[in-house]
Amino acid sequence: MCLLRSLCLASLFTVMSAGQDTVSDSPTTVIDAPETSTPMVEAKSNPNRSRYPYVVSIGTNTKGYYKHLCVGVIISNEFLLTAAHCIKRMPNHKQAKKYVAGGDDFLGSRKQTRFFVVQVQWHPQFKLLGGHDIAVVRVYPKFPLDDKRFRSIQFKGKPRTGSGEKVSMIGWGRAIVGKIKKIHETPFQTMRNDVCKQKHRFVFLTKTDFCAVHLKGPQGACDGDSGAPLMDVANERLVGLLSYGKKACTPLQPYAFTRVSDYSKWIQQAMDYMDTVISVANRTIWKS
């Protein structure tokens, strides 16, 4: 029996969110794009406005229905950030195509626009519960950055190591295939790593991770929230990406996040490195 039972559950939390069925073991992977005879163009937008236009869902096609797995945050018209465990394939799991849905606050709504994931790059030092839980994802077609349904946010910023900062995590939480669910903002407060390790026994916390405690509401971070941005929403400042917790959805407890500011240089290099070639694949059919 595992002596650190709660931390075994932390590992399970990340597995539940990830889906565990995507790409190869190489940190950079090119994935087939939609069948097309035209160059890369931006998708058409509509006048609807999203409350968080920089937040998107990452999911798969399950018998024609969109299945939400994780959350991403848009950083350019082609790229988004998410947790590495959301897109790195685990051993003995079948590969499946990934998609991105956004442009509307309601997950599963027909007002959301869907995009193909065509390239991914996760941090080469990423290990489950070993830090560096961050990845860059490229989509096709490009996000139509209209400041209404889609907007990118800045990922570069000065490193912050302080505690006591009130921030918010944005995501959909646990989602059911075929059910529409509204995005929500969940309040957190950052804490010192030594306190998180000693008081809450987050023994796997690394220097590029940090803890934030859930402040209010019936649920903390859930499976389905992995990769969700932790932010100063008023200033649209990105602080972290949800990595793991001891037990999914538990309120008033701390969760571990990846400190985005530590990876500014790597994120830019990953975007610059990604290949411009998009290969041809079959069209995807959606029922809803």
pLDDT digits 0-9 by tens, 275-286: 665 554 545 666
* Rounded mean pLDDT, 184-203: 95
Examine residue 159 and state whether it is found in any structural domain, yes or no: no
Examine residue 1 and state whether it is found in any structural domain, yes or no: no
Structurally, the chain folds into a number of domains equal to 2
Confidence category of residue 250, pLDDT binned at 50, 70, 90: very high
Examine residue 4 and state whether it is found in any structural domain, yes or no: no
Tens digit of pLDDT for each residue in 83-106? Answer: 999 998 766 666 688 999 999 999
Residues 170 and 148 placed together within one structural domain of the fold: no
Residue 245's alpha-carbon distances to 13, 21, 187, 226, 254, in angstroms, are 7, 21, 16, 10, 7
CATH code of the domain containing 173: 2.40.10.10
Mean pLDDT computed over every residue of the chain = 84
Whether the predicted pLDDT of 35 surpasses 50 = no
pLDDT above 70: percentage of residues in the chain: 76
Residues 180 and 198 placed together within one structural domain of the fold: yes
Of 100, 138, 109, give the one whose Cα is nearest residue 48: 109
Which of 67-76, 84-93, 233-242 comes out lowest in average pLDDT? 84-93
- Contact (CB, 8 A) for 134 and 123: yes
Examine residue 67 and state whether it is found in any structural domain, yes or no: yes
Residues 141 and 269 placed together within one structural domain of the fold: yes
Examine residue 55 and state whether it is found in any structural domain, yes or no: yes
pLDDT at 98: 94
pLDDT at 22: 33
Q: Which residues contact 273 (CB under 8 A, 6 or more apart)?
A: 28, 121
- Name the more confident of 207 and 25: 207
Residues 149 and 179 placed together within one structural domain of the fold: no
Whether the predicted pLDDT of 42 surpasses 80 = no
Examine residue 285 and state whether it is found in any structural domain, yes or no: no
Residues 219 and 254 placed together within one structural domain of the fold: yes
Confidence category of residue 143, pLDDT binned at 50, 70, 90: very high
pLDDT at 30: 59
Confidence category of residue 160, pLDDT binned at 50, 70, 90: low
* Rounded mean pLDDT, 3-18: 41
- Give me the residues paired with residue 223 across strands: none
pLDDT at 153: 96
CA separation for the pair 43, 288 (Å, rounded): 19
Whether the predicted pLDDT of 2 surpasses 60 = no
CA separation for the pair 184, 170 (Å, rounded): 6
Q: Which domain holds residue 206?
A: 166-261
Residues 241 and 191 placed together within one structural domain of the fold: yes
Which of 18-27, 67-76, 151-160 comes out lowest in average pLDDT? 18-27
Q: Rounded to two decimals, what is the model's pTM?
A: 0.84
State how beta strands 99-102 and 55-62 pair. Answer: antiparallel
pLDDT at 74: 98
Confidence category of residue 29, pLDDT binned at 50, 70, 90: low
Residues 195 and 147 placed together within one structural domain of the fold: no
pLDDT at 277: 57
The helix (H) or strand (E) run that includes residue 258 is: strand 254-259
Token pair for residue 156?
């570069």
Q: Which residue has the tokens 């990595």?
A: 243
Examine residue 79 and state whether it is found in any structural domain, yes or no: yes
Examine residue 158 and state whether it is found in any structural domain, yes or no: no
Q: Please tell me the number of Cα atoms within 13 Å of 34 on its side-chain side.
A: 17
Residues 131 and 248 placed together within one structural domain of the fold: no
Residues 134 and 269 placed together within one structural domain of the fold: yes
Residues 28 and 83 placed together within one structural domain of the fold: yes
Residues 141 and 251 placed together within one structural domain of the fold: no
Residues 42 and 127 placed together within one structural domain of the fold: yes
CA separation for the pair 215, 204 (Å, rounded): 22
